[in-house]
Every structure is written in C-alpha cells, then in structure tokens.
Amino acid sequence: MESILTLSDAKARLSEIVKKAIDGEEFIITRMGEPAVRISRYEPRRSVPKLGDLAGQIRIADNFEDWPPDLEQVLGIADSE
C-alpha cells in the first residue's frame, strides 16, 4: 500500500519512512501538491548477461550456415552448376 506524504511530513519522519520502506511499504512524497518522488525498498538489479557468459556451454554445429538444398532453390541462393 502506498502512503502519500507532503515533503515537510517526509522530512520530519524520514527515519520512520525508511524503516517502513525496508519492510515493503511504499511512499509517495508530494511537492506543492503534486506527486514528486516514490520511496520504496531497494531491490538489486538482476545481472545483465554479458557477451561470453555462455562460453563453453553451447556448441554451434559445423554446418550451421548450410541450407537444405530444396530451401536454397526456393530462396534463389543455390550454387549454379
């Protein structure tokens, strides 16, 4: 559940807000009557896969780039003999 607080209320209760946010509560802080900031528990980002992460775990077939002969004909990429 979100609680809505004014900026001045949030300043006065910051320690309390942080403790509650750690426990999962979310807060919207308003500034001049408009929502300005959301305070919520920090969730670390999942790691983004990097190039090479799967090295040694996958294998590309030697004939990966070979097309079946009938498909080569349909696509017009067959070697002309």
CATH number, residue 30: 3.40.1620.10
Q: d(Cα 6, Cα 34) in Å, to the nearest integer?
A: 9
Residue 21 within any structural domain of the chain: yes
Please tell me the total count of domains within the chain: 1
Concatenating the DSSP letter of every residue in 19-79 gives: HHHHTT-EEEEEETTEEEEEE----PPPPPP-TTTTTTT----TTTTPPPHHHHHHHT-SP
pLDDT of residue 60: 86
The answer to whether position 69 is within a domain reads no
Does the residue 35 lie in any domain?
Answer: yes
Task: Give domain status of residue 51, yes or no.
Answer: no
For the full predicted model, state whether its pTM sits above 0.85.
no
Confidence at residue 66, expressed as pLDDT on a 0 to 100 scale: 87
The Cβ of residue 53 has, within 10 Å, a number of other Cβ atoms equal to 9
Per-residue pLDDT of the chain (81 residues; tens, 9 = 90+): 689 999 999 999 999 999 999 999 999 999 999 999 999 999 998 888 888 888 889 888 898 888 888 888 888 887 765
The continuous run of DSSP H or E covering 31 comes out as strand 26-31
Range of the domain at 7: 2-39
Residue 31 is predicted with a pLDDT of: 95
